[in-house]
Amino acid sequence: MDVREPQEGEWWTPTRARALCRRTTGVGADGLIVGTLTDPVTMTLFNADGSMAEMSGNGVRCLAAAIRRATSSTFATIDVATAAGVKTVSLTMDGDKGEGSVSMGTVTFGEALEGTLGVVNVGNPHVVVDDETTWSDAQREELAAKLAAQVGGANVEFLSVLAADRVSIRVIERGVGWTEACGTGSVAVAALLRRDGRSGDEVTVVNPGGELLVSFDGDEATLSGPVQFVADVEWLEV
């Protein structure tokens, strides 16, 4: 499924999304998710730079929780149509906090680029490299830009393996830059390590912003992690 471009007359546009996500004059965010209460619910995802993206593993959990709260629902599962296909989200909430999981489907692998561990598609594209402690962030950013350009744009994960069932990543996200957490990136690295026999069916992925759990049932991946409301925002365009 292709990324849906905003239609004429829709209020949320790339320009407005970019203004909202700006950290100095806007609310500040890696992206904006617009949910449409159709059947199934539809998710439209803007990156911080106003570009469109296919899927966010963390974002789709947050969208499901926001819909449940906004509609005073008590559902435990909900289907969400994304540009990467329909995803089923499961939620367990206790007030403003909870846990959620999302069925991510089958991960596919591309031809590895020189100097990488692999190229992975989780509904959106990823390039995974082993991190080097001697690299500066400027060197990582230069490498990420070079690798992403070779595949027409991608998130780039810098991976450190801590144990067979525990890894850490830092991610330069397409249209965003450095991010505190990347759900699809967590799935990408877990799938790649599992394919190469370096991990099993369950991997904890430590992101700078917290831990996510990736599990596999056959070829089907599931991403699990926390959900927490932090604020209600009324956006007044100026």
Q: What is the CATH number of the domain that holds 96?
A: 3.10.310.10
Q: Is residue 2 assigned to a domain? A: no
Could you tell me if 124 and 20 lie in one domain?
A: no
Task: Determine the pLDDT at residue 11.
Answer: 86
232 within some domain: no
153 and 99 together in one domain: no
Closest CA to 102 of 46, 43, 56, 161: 56
Residue 7 is predicted with a pLDDT of 63
Which residues lie closer than 8 Å to 138 by C-beta, 6 or more apart? none
Shared domain check, 64 and 122: no
Residue at token pair 């949320």? 12
> Is the Cα dihedral 134, 138, 142, 144 positive or negative?
positive
Q: Is the pTM of this model over 0.85?
A: yes
pLDDT in tens, the chain (238 residues): 456 566 666 889 999 999 999 999 999 999 999 999 999 999 999 999 999 999 999 999 999 999 999 999 999 999 999 999 999 999 999 999 999 999 999 999 999 999 999 999 999 999 999 999 999 999 999 999 999 999 999 999 999 999 999 999 999 999 999 999 999 999 999 999 999 999 999 999 999 999 999 999 999 999 999 999 999 988 886 5
* Co-location of 161 and 78 in the same domain: no
Q: How many residues does the chain have?
A: 238
DSSP one-letter code for 95: T
Question: Are 119 and 210 part of one and the same domain?
Answer: yes
Q: What is the pLDDT of residue 1?
A: 44
229 part of a folded domain: no
Number of neighbouring beta carbons within 10 Å of residue 41: 19
Q: Are the CB atoms for 169 and 205 separated by under 8 Å?
A: yes
Same domain, 77 and 127: no
Which domain covers residue 211, as residue numbers? 106-224
Residue 143 included in any domain: yes
Residue among 181, 185, 213 at smallest CA distance from 200: 213
Q: Contact 66/83 with Cβ under 8 angstroms?
A: no
Does residue 54 share a domain with residue 78?
yes
Tally the domains of the chain: 2
Q: How far apart are the first and last CA of the chain?
A: 35
- Asked if 40 and 79 sit in the same domain, the reply is yes
